């Protein structure tokens, strides 16, 4: 498969050895040759001290350091060598609260297990070829959560919860997030 990803390096963190193997095979099939797989976020953080991959794919739930904490550390720790590292969260937990937690930690993309080969490739292509700009506020650092410009935006307020009339709402998630068959864009 000619994806143009031959030079991309990937750090994969998942506590399930079978999932690491499946995703590693998919990555290899996409032409990715540099793959380093570890079994939790702590090992992944340790690996980032010595190696700088182009992309990280992490599971949501791992011990002792899960994918959300891994993401927070990459984005916000003073010793982080690459706070702009694209991070794809991969999880079987697709409930709204989990998606928001991952998004608010600074995850770049989200993939629901069982992993669909096309969806994973689409997310990888998005973070490599169409990266979103990063945003820094007092409470958040990570990729801009807005996926499109709203032509009706007329002021500094982007959300209904902001003071203002609610015009220019950011692209949101609907109520069907728990449907694991849906592609989830954060």
Residue 184 pLDDT more than 70? no
- pLDDT tens for each residue of 103-138: 999 999 999 999 999 999 999 999 999 999 999 999
The CA distance from 38 to 21, in Å, is: 11
- Assign 106 to helix, strand or coil: coil
Residue whose C-alpha is closest to residue 12's, from 56, 43, 67, 62? 56
58-67, 128-137, 177-186: range with lowest mean pLDDT:
177-186
Residue whose C-alpha is closest to residue 127's, from 102, 109, 146, 113? 109
Output the pTM of the full model: 0.80
- pLDDT tier at 158, thresholds 50, 70, 90: low
> Any idea which fold 9-143 has?
Rossmann fold (3.40.50)
- pLDDT tens for each residue of 15-25: 999 999 999 99
The CA distance from 22 to 134, in Å, is: 30
Q: Domain-by-domain residue ranges, the chain?
A: 9-143
**67 torsion bin: left (phi>0), alpha (psi -120 to 50), beta (else):** alpha
């Amino acid at each position: 498969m000619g994806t143009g990803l031959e030079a991309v390096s990937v750090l994969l963190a998942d506590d399930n050895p079978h999932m690491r193997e499946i995703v590693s095979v998919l990555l290899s099939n996409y032409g990715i040759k540099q793959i380093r797989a570890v079994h939790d976020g702590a090992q992944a953080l340790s690996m980032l001290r010595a190696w700088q991959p182009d992309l990280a794919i992490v599971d949501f739930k791992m011990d002792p350091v899960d994918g959300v904490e891994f993401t927070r550390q990459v984005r916000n720790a003073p010793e982080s060598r690459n706070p702009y590292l694209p991070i794809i969260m991969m999880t079987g937990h697709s409930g709204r609260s989990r998606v928001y937690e991952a998004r608010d930690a600074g995850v770049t993309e989200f993939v629901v297990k069982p992993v669909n080969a096309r969806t994973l490739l689409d997310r990888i292509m998005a973070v490599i070829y169409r990266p979103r700009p990063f945003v820094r506020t007092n409470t958040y650092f990570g990729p801009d959560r807005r996926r499109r410009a709203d032509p009706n935006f007329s002021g500094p307020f982007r959300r209904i919860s902001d003071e203002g009339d609610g015009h220019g709402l950011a692209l949101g998630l609907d109520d069907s997030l728990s449907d694991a068959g849906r592609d989830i864009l954060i």
